């Protein structure tokens, strides 16, 4: 009888343990501290010699020949590197003024854009419209910008220093 009573008492304590949910491991919640940011888009400019230009040394200089007719050109090459989480579109918009010494001495200056990538199209003759894909991209061509100055035989200009301005504006989106 003692053995049956002992067995009943043991079953009374053991059965509820077996009927309960299995023991749980402590739960943990992980919070990220700080922010993981992709490297932003980087656009690089190179001269005809393949040297990367910075804002300080991105000056174009032309030396005019002593001829009746001439044409001078200089090209700049644009490339990008990025590591974007989502693809985006951006536009590089260029503007240039004529080179002038004074109101009477003005050399007509034009710019021409040529796409060097299937990511880039040329709009309005002065804009690179570029799709920047998601993921890692390194040194991808955007395009070539050529600045052209032409003097015809009928044009008469005074000797001296001529100056003008060239600007690049970047906008994101369509």
Amino acid 174: pLDDT: 67
Rounded to whole angstroms, the Cα distance separating 76 from 81 reads: 17
Rounded to whole angstroms, the Cα distance separating 130 from 21 reads: 59
Is-above-0.75 flag for pTM? no
Please identify which residue in the block is written with the tokens 């002593």: 66
Condensed to tens digits (0 to 9), the pLDDT of residues 32-53 reads 444 444 458 888 989 888 888 8
What is the three-class DSSP state of 50? Answer: coil
CA distances from 133 to 17, 37, 87, 93 (A): 58, 16, 4, 20
Highest mean pLDDT, choosing among 27-36, 57-66, 91-100, 161-170: 91-100
Rounded to whole angstroms, the Cα distance separating 111 from 9 reads: 97
> Which strands sit side by side in the sheet containing 120-123, from one edge to the other?
120-123, 127-132, 88-96, 166-172
What is the residue extent of each domain of the chain?
42-56+68-172
């Amino acid at each position: 009888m003692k053995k049956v009573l002992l067995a009943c008492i043991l079953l009374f304590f053991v059965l509820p343990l077996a009927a309960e949910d299995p023991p749980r491991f402590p739960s943990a919640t992980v919070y990220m501290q700080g922010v993981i940011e992709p490297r932003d888009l980087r656009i690089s400019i190179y001269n005809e010699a393949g040297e990367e230009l910075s804002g300080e040394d991105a000056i174009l200089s032309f030396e005019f020949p002593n001829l009746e007719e001439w044409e001078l050109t200089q090209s700049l090459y644009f490339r990008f590197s990025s590591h974007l989480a989502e693809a985006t579109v951006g536009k590089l918009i260029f503007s240039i003024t004529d080179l002038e010494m004074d109101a009477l001495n003005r050399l007509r200056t034009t710019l021409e854009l040529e796409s060097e990538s299937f990511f880039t199209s040329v709009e309005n003759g002065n804009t690179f419209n570029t799709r920047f894909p998601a993921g890692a991209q390194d040194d991808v061509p955007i395009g070539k910008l050529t600045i052209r100055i032409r003097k015809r035989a009928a044009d008469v200009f005074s000797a001296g220093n001529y100056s003008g301005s060239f600007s690049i504006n970047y906008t994101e989106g369509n």
